[in-house]
Structure 1
């Protein structure tokens, strides 16, 4: 079927709006199917348009760059330009309470992050260069693992990073309700789509970071508002990107839409056009939790069984009756106390035959052999004196 001219124009306008990436520093991606991004590491664009920064593979990293370098300094070269970005993300983990390691929006002078480490370094830094001023990297992290070496405040926070992962400022993930002003917590690894806004004013050097559930109105009060001069950090031309990494836990980090602008507000995303994040059912999440718990609990249970058996054997050896040499030579003559107790009716006075200097003698009948015996109960000298 042939399209009408108006339909062709509308399609071209929509296509340009979907993937616009001009040299003036504005772009928008409502989904990433066919997007011309530079991908690195494990990052792929899935058929439905989701940008999957990571998959469930452990200890790997992934990143996506807008391919065109942007000039972040004004003409005089001393003041960083204002910029704004927004993106929708979802972090999906197979477990209920733990995931790793988070994702970040960043600005860097190069697209070569081959020396960066995965896990807690988010594919941006490594143990040697983390914190070095020569990095010239600015980032906003959505961190889902508490790393004491970076002085993290929790395993569910948003942080502003300059040249390293010890955040300049960090806050628990959430947003402020416009009506009540109350803080509403958001769990980053819940698998829900959420939106982040990052706005930097080059003149006032104020950086605002805002977080909210997807399609919710942008909160008036930002989650983070901090004064930070990015002029010495964003040194001339730089690239903007998104990065993530995995640790030991099975986690997927998705970006569903992304826009950016220099010297203005980032274009709003079209929520209805964004791909949907995958969801993992509660039963499957609980099953995965058992997969983690059982390998840990099994050796502990085995150690407990070994300890219990050892205790029983030790008690038996400790309280076992000792046979003297003459008993071994002439055969077993010792009877269990309980058998003697039963034979004498519990040393009942009715069975008493007589009393000597060292105790009493009772008549009894052994329960097994039915033989009559005389049983002498010996007392110590001290007991005899007390008696």
Structure 2
């Protein structure tokens, strides 16, 4: 009898908790105050006093993880088949600046509840450049993404996606929900209002569905449905929870309630029963103003006066340090007029940290490109002004010229030459409207090499670009290639050693030594140039998720074809065989040389230019020995000396 009484009291205890454990793998958290001991938090994640789970705050470039503390069984031990599961949760994204989210959150199944080494920003705290795309990582996520990342082929800055071991979604759709009459309604993830999400996986149908709604009612129709078998992705036991991150733009990501069930349907939430979101400062001001009654007019008058004084004080004021900046300083109003009020119709695309608009200077009719982004810190703005002053003096026919800049309080605008033919990636990937001829491709490659040589060796300082890729190569009216977007560039005095810095750049173009040392060098730029060479010739990205396994990594595929004697098989088939075979072999060989895993085995830019101009013959490319000392490689050693008759190629798989 005593055992039965103990069991009975234990069940009563559970029934009075804020979460209900309906079976071993069923969770129901209506707020998180009473389940602190059942949640594993790291990064910026915390449970607030009223029970809200905040994954991030308004700090830049942070991440937050919140997982259920115990692993949950996800597979049948006998058959190895994944179980069905279902989850419902209510979240809210409250951006620091209206309609500018950064970067979103993800419902996540993982073998780890800490995700060590994960990056913030576009990686949502899930992965990093090393493990992204690795099928041994076993991570599944449904992302609610509020920032458009071209590197990951995001469809917009307000979408839902299903991801497996990668930040590139297997399928994604714009955020929306279905009304009862089956009409689709758009849903703004950064509205700051609670949104309920449902993720349901049916292991019998091998189908996953995602639903969204701003209400308590679960829609009949999913906004996203994908046929997928998670049996090979999930381990027998996994952690379940959430991950989120911020970047240059920030948002506070909240989870108000969460339910989860294995082989059952997760319970939905009544929105009114969940913890309330913090009131905004604007709302508090409004309440105060209403409550003062007769003094409202006085307070309003003071507020308006303060606003006008501050607006007059801040509007286009020039501080003394700004007079030291080299390029022309445009007035904010001048650029606003040039871009027609930054109309969406004038939007050219997204560059590093901001949107790029087409404009026409009012007085002279000169076409320009204006990059617009926020930069809050005055100290950071002054530091950035030093780079503007330096980069603004770069002058080379194969670099996009920085014409000037402007700022208004925390907003910074950079003005560049307008490139009417856009970026190179639009001509070589997917299904371009115009196919570049072989002569045009060869010329563009030489143009970029010439610009890089100027940056590395011919200007007064060494400039390391750090983000060389097809999307940052712009084409002028005559399809000449110009390297642009110096948002990540670093300048060093000649002969000095670059200091350790954060690993930045684009997946597929990052030199492998960067993940170890964090030090950008001219050799790491050469590695990215090698990736650019191969993608221009092959018409494919450095990492192609949709390709066959043996063709996933472009440089590995090209190397395998080189060894088998079928190197010309990799040339872009859209050229229909109309290319110079000698030049094709030259570029492919040079692309492999630049893509060497060992920095000292890469040529310097001055030698690359001589190879392209036919002044020096390329050495023979042979497979590397089984053993090499990659740790002690000198990143700036030129191994392409004319006296050498061969060069070892060290693939990344070595």
TM-score scaled to structure 1, two decimals? 0.69
Report the Cα offset of residue 282 of structure 1: 5.9
Report the Cα offset of residue 218 of structure 1: 1.2
Structure 2 residues not aligned, in runs of 5+: 1-8, 286-306, 335-654
> Is 1:59–1:248's contact at 8 Å kept on the other side of the alignment?
yes
Report the Cα offset of residue 271 of structure 1: 3.2
| 1:65 equivalent in structure 2 | 67
1:148 paired residue among 147, 150, 162: 150
| 1:26 equivalent in structure 2 | 26
Distance 2:317 2:273 in 1: 46
| 1:304 equivalent in structure 2 | 330
Report the Cα offset of residue 11 of structure 1: 8.3
SS of equivalent residue, structure 1 residue 19 = coil
> Is 1:123–1:243's contact at 8 Å kept on the other side of the alignment?
yes
The answer to whether residue 193 in structure 2 is matched with residue 195 in structure 1 is no
Q: How does 1:242-257 map to 2 (within 5 A)?
A: 242-257=242-257
Report the Cα offset of residue 280 of structure 1: 2.8
> Is 1:88–1:214's contact at 8 Å kept on the other side of the alignment?
no
> Is 1:102–1:253's contact at 8 Å kept on the other side of the alignment?
yes
Distance 1:163 1:295 in 2: 47
Distance 1:12 1:297 in 2: 65
| 2:208 equivalent in structure 1 | 207
2:78 paired residue among 70, 76, 79: 76
Structure 1 residues not aligned, in runs of 5+: 1-7, 309-387
How much is the aligned-residue C-alpha RMSD, in angstroms? Answer: 2.9
> Is 2:92–2:255's contact at 8 Å kept on the other side of the alignment?
yes
Return structure 1 stretches of 4+ with deviation > 6 angstroms.
8-11, 294-302
> Is 2:105–2:143's contact at 8 Å kept on the other side of the alignment?
yes
> Is 1:84–1:200's contact at 8 Å kept on the other side of the alignment?
yes
Distance 2:194 2:262 in 1: 25
**1:105-162 deviation digits (Å, cap 9, x = unpaired):** 0101122312100011011100111111111111000000000111100000000011
Q: How does 1:75-224 map to 2 (within 5 A)?
A: 75-179=77-181, 181-215=182-216, 217-224=217-224
Residue correspondences, number: 290
TM-score scaled to structure 2, two decimals? 0.42
| 2:645 equivalent in structure 1 | none
Distance 1:192 1:126 in 2: 30
> Is 2:14–2:20's contact at 8 Å kept on the other side of the alignment?
no
Report the Cα offset of residue 45 of structure 1: 0.3
> Is 1:92–1:278's contact at 8 Å kept on the other side of the alignment?
no
**1:305-333 deviation digits (Å, cap 9, x = unpaired):** 7xx9xxxxxxxxxxxxxxxxxxxxxxxxx
Larger radius of gyration: 1
SS of equivalent residue, structure 1 residue 276 = coil
SS of equivalent residue, structure 2 residue 136 = helix
* Larger fraction in helix: 2
| 1:52 equivalent in structure 2 | 54
| 1:43 equivalent in structure 2 | 45
Report the Cα offset of residue 27 of structure 1: 0.8
Distance 1:14 1:261 in 2: 17
> Is 2:218–2:268's contact at 8 Å kept on the other side of the alignment?
no
Q: After alignment, is 272-281 or 250-259 more displaced?
A: 272-281
Q: Looking at both structures, which has the greater relative contact order when contacts are Cα pairs under 8 Å and sequence separation is at least 6? A: 1
* CA spacing shift, 1:128–1:119, aligned 2, 3 Å: same
> Is 2:161–2:170's contact at 8 Å kept on the other side of the alignment?
yes
Distance 2:125 2:315 in 1: 29
* Larger fraction in strand: 1
> Is 1:207–1:228's contact at 8 Å kept on the other side of the alignment?
yes
| 2:589 equivalent in structure 1 | none
| 2:611 equivalent in structure 1 | none
Distance 2:137 2:199 in 1: 21
* CA spacing shift, 1:260–1:11, aligned 2, 3 Å: same
Distance 2:77 2:262 in 1: 14
